[in-house]
Amino acid sequence: MRNMIFLFFFVASVSAQERYRLCAPQSISDNTCYSLQRGESQVSCLRVEDSADCAIKLSRGDADFGVFTAEELLLAHQFYPTGLQLISQLRHKDKIIEEFEFQSVAVVPTTYNSVEGNFNGLQNGGLCHPGFSKAQMWNNYILKYFEKKVYGSTCRDSMTTAENEAMNLQNFFGKACRPGEWVSDNAYTTELKNKYPDLCSLCDTSSSCTYRNMDNHGHTGALDCLTSGRGKVAYVALNYVRQYFALDSPAAIIANMTASSYQFLCPNGTVQPLTTSNPCAWVKQPWSAIAVRDDRASSLLEGLKNWLKPTRSAEDWTTALRSIIQQDAVPNFFTEYTSFETYLRKGREVSFPTSSCGNTIRWCTISTLETNKCNWIAKAAVTHGIEPQISCDQTNSTFHCFHDIADHKADIITIDSNYGHLARQVFNLTTVLYTETETDRNSVVIAVVREGSSYNVSSFAALSKRTACFPEYGGIAWLSFINTARTNGVLSESCDYATIVADFLSGACTPGFRDRDHLNSSLTSSAGSTLCSLCPLENNNATCSANSSNIYYGDKGALECLKSTAGDIAFIEAKNLNAYIEQGLINASHYRVLCKNSSLALYTGFNVDDQCALSVTIDSEMVGRKSDEQDARVKLTDITLALLQIEDWLGYRTNVLRPIHVYGPFNGTKDLLFKDSTSGLESTSSTIKSVLAYKELFQHVQTCSSSATLLLTNISIILVGVLFLVQTL
């Protein structure tokens, strides 16, 4: 009996000490988490990548609570409309009486004739807009909310989404001042401003499209634009209106007769005086809030009320908890549990339009996890006002995506640089954006020989009639070898790569050479007898396969081909072997690198500098369909601008509050949609060294493609001429 009583108290004690798991993003330091978990703490840190990761962990019971901004709640609600609750909002300590974090309002003169239900009085009146700045909290959805609700959205297929927007604005407001970057590409922003100068004509400096007074992220300049009589409406933040017109001081209002000349324009078309205590706002942004699982709501509500008490003076674990949750905020606990939707609907819409100008961007994915991440990114793009919208179309492989993009069933995919040549040569795809790689994680291709062998290859010229091992036909190692061999004068300028390599070598294993996804009709099949001669027979009696059934496939396979003495040299991406080296499966000292200047490295191993490696490039890129047709160019521009906006709001931008990290892991898995080595996106005109090196690899390929296109064009012209002569005889 005593044992049973002891067991009961033991279990009760363990249960009493159960720790609640708080989502801890990277912004919370390890030291803070250690402090939180000391002593008799009832809360522990659970590391998450971002708020999306926190929402996922909350929904499946891995986490118990976390802090979410309104934007993060908005995104999480799209996936988890039930099962999670809010128990407290977190108001800034200097704005405790403010119900919302910020509110956007429209201000018009008192001479404006309001008509409930329409905004015709604004037509050709001029818009004073604060402008677009990466330094402010407002994203594109909020910055464009007023104008999109007011003007009729007409979509013209011949125009990009951004130009449709500019024309719609000009057609409705006539003139405007919209400073900053209209799109996330400086060159295209300039092009649009030059084409639609009326949208900058109300600015103090129309040539540069800026206000003289850019205080408060342009909101003060927008109010100057309104009060000077240039524009009929200003769309700005409520707090700046209060400052500008001194609305918080009754005495100042009396002295400031300007305030009586203006009024708020409401979303229903009516108006209110500036002195109203509850102005009609267009967007009311709720404060950040504490989200919890439904089954933890009751206990955490009582616990946090106690742990976050400002009167607690003891320097214990609750001090760390307050620093994590509150920072400069004060908790305002709800009297009843509140759903995400109920909380958000007090100030803004929680549902979004399902279509926009521009064709939907079809992002090709190759796994369920990748599709899930894509869906989160697509929803985040919508909540941030990024257009056109994105759909996520799942297939089962990169090559399947290549086929779908070529067949107009999909639009984009991020690929390993290893597939850059095949994407261009076989599927006629092109770069949409380059993905800048973290410098120490670039793709480095090297040529490797066995150390100490009597028949060691000591130069590229010495490779003549020798044998070689490649990870994959058409891969980046294959292309790097061909470019380097040309530079060293041992291969010709022929466009038939397979034939010139087969004629140069006596044998090779080039996995994938016989695969239809690796070849196009211009390649000669006779080269296969040489380029597949070293590949071993597989279980199904096939050979030269580009998959795991071929033990010489991939970088490890190419090195195995060299180690077995089947080949005299192997061309590999060194970083792909790091894990095998760390596990002791590969001894790097058994190999030596043949540098691109045709000399052997001084030391054994794979670590060589950029001057020795055959190529040092980015390790991935985004590709899409190549076309010179007008509608295709418009779509490509739309895709590029949307992706650059996603980079701005969900990438590595400083001080950005991103609800999901587009380059980071998702649900515990790396390299989904983008490699985790990605640090940003670069345009096709990028001058970054690793991007230039990657582009250089394809210069000869593109020359060959251009020549082939010109030849086909000339043949077509000749045939048309012959047909015409035949018809006239």
Say yes or no: 578 and 504 in one domain. yes
Q: Which residue has the tokens 């802090």?
A: 67
* pLDDT tens, residue by residue, 437-493: 998 899 999 999 999 865 678 899 999 999 999 999 999 999 999 999 999 999 999
What residues contact 225, with CB distance under 8 A and at least 6 apart?
Answer: 128, 177, 202, 203, 204, 211, 231, 234
Q: Is there a single domain that holds both residue 517 and residue 613? A: yes
When comparing pLDDT for 703 and 302, which is higher?
302
In what helix (H) or strand (E) does residue 274 lie, and over which residues does it extend? none
- Residue 651 placed within a domain: yes
The residue count of the chain comes to 729
d(CA 21, CA 458): 60
CB-CB contact of 599 with 484 (8 Å): no
Per-residue pLDDT averaged across 84-94, rounded? 96
Q: What is the rounded average pLDDT for all residues in the chain?
A: 89
Structure tokens at 16: 């009493």
Q: Judge contact between 102 and 285, C-beta under 8 A.
A: yes
355 is a domain residue = no
676 is in an annotated binding site: no
Tally of CB atoms within 10 A around 343:
21
Q: Which of 321, 345, 369 is the last residue of a domain?
A: 345
Residue 93: its pLDDT value, please? 93
- Tell how far CA 178 is from the center of its chain: 26
Question: Does 710 map to a domain?
Answer: no
The position carrying tokens 């380029």 is 531
Instruction: Tell me if residue 443 falls in helix, strand or coil.
Output: strand
What is the mean predicted confidence (pLDDT) over 159-187?
96
In this predicted structure, the answer to whether residue 428 has a pLDDT above a threshold of 70 is yes
CA angle 555, 558, 560 (to 5 degrees): 110
What's the pLDDT band for 653 if we cut at 50, 70, 90?
A: confident
Closest listed residue to residue 54, CA positions, set 351, 287, 290, 370 = 290
Look up residue 543 and give its amino acid.
T
| 390 is a domain residue | yes
651: three-class secondary structure by DSSP: coil
State the CATH number of the domain containing residue 30: 3.40.190.10
Q: How confident is the model at residue 258 (pLDDT cuts 50, 70, 90)?
A: confident
609 is in an annotated binding site: no
Per-residue pLDDT band at 248 (split at 50, 70, 90): confident
Q: What pLDDT score does 526 carry?
A: 77
Q: In which domain, by residue range, is 478 found? A: 443-617
| Domain assignment of residue 552, yes or no | yes
The phi and psi torsions of 362 (rounded to 5 degrees) equal -95, 105
Could you write out the DSSP letters of every residue in 18-67? PPEEEEE-TTS-HHHHHHHTSTT-SEEEEE-SSHHHHHHHHHTTS--EEE
For the chain, the farthest-separated pair of C-alpha atoms sits apart, in whole angstroms, at: 116
Answer whether residue 646 shows pLDDT above 60.
Answer: yes
Q: List, for residues 512-570, the tens digit of each pLDDT value.
A: 998 888 875 445 567 888 999 999 999 888 899 999 999 999 999 999 999 999 999 99
* Structure tokens given for 357: 């100008």
CA–CA distances in Å: residue 563 to residues 456, 471, 501 = 13, 14, 22
Residue type at 198? D
> For residue 12, what is the DSSP state?
H
Domain closes at, from 596, 617, 638: 617
Indicate the pTM of the whole model. 0.91
Predicted confidence at residue 655, as pLDDT, reads 64
Q: How confident is the model at residue 201 (pLDDT cuts 50, 70, 90)?
A: very high
Does some domain include residue 7?
A: no
Residue 138 has pLDDT above 80, yes or no: yes
Q: Rounded distance, CA 677 to CA 448, Å?
A: 25
pLDDT interval class at 707 (50, 70, 90): low
Helix axes 689-697, 699-728, angle to 10 degrees: 40
SS3 call for 223: helix
Cβ pair 478, 571 in contact under 8 A: yes
Least confident among 117-121, 143-147, 255-259, 590-594: 255-259
4 assigned to some structural domain: no
Q: Based on the domain organization, do 200 and 235 belong to the same domain?
A: yes
What is the pLDDT at residue 267? 96
Q: Which two tokens stand for residue 579?
A: 């894990």
Domain-embedded: residue 13: no
Q: Is the pLDDT of residue 305 over 60?
A: yes
* 206-215 residues labelled b (16+ CB within 10 A) or e (exposed): beebbbeebe
| Cis ω for the linkage preceding 353 (within 30 of 0) | no
CA distances in angstroms from 640 to 449, 624, 710, listed in the order given: 42, 10, 28
Mean pLDDT over 343-362 rounds to: 89
pLDDT at 226: 97
606 and 637: one domain?
no
Structure tokens at 118: 């329409």
Residue for token pair 């988890």: 80
Is 416 annotated as belonging to a binding site?
yes
Same domain, 508 and 407: no
Same domain, 338 and 229: no
One domain for residues 398 and 453: no
**One domain, residues 430 and 573:** no
Confidence of residue 725 (pLDDT cuts 50, 70, 90): very low
Residue at a domain's end among 584, 617, 650: 617
Strand partners, 338: 86
Q: What is the mean pLDDT of residues 351-369?
A: 90
Closest by CA to 359, choosing from 639, 641, 683, 646, is 639
Residues 562 and 416 placed together within one structural domain of the fold:
no
468, 515: one domain: yes
Beta bridge partners of 176: 127
Residue-level pLDDT at 706: 62
Q: What are the structure tokens assigned to 111, written together?
A: 């001479």
Confidence of residue 8 (pLDDT cuts 50, 70, 90): very low
Q: Report the range of poorest mean pLDDT among 305-314, 397-406, 513-522, 602-611.
A: 513-522
Domains contained in the chain, number? 4
Is the domain of 556 the same as that of 567? Answer: yes
Q: Which helix (H) or strand (E) holds 149?
A: helix 145-150
Kindly state the tokens that stand for 47: 């590391």
Predicted local confidence at residue 700, as pLDDT: 83
Counting DSSP H helices and E strands in the chain, the numbers are 25, 26
In a shared domain, residues 586 and 488 = yes
Q: Which residue has the higher pLDDT, 257 or 412?
A: 412
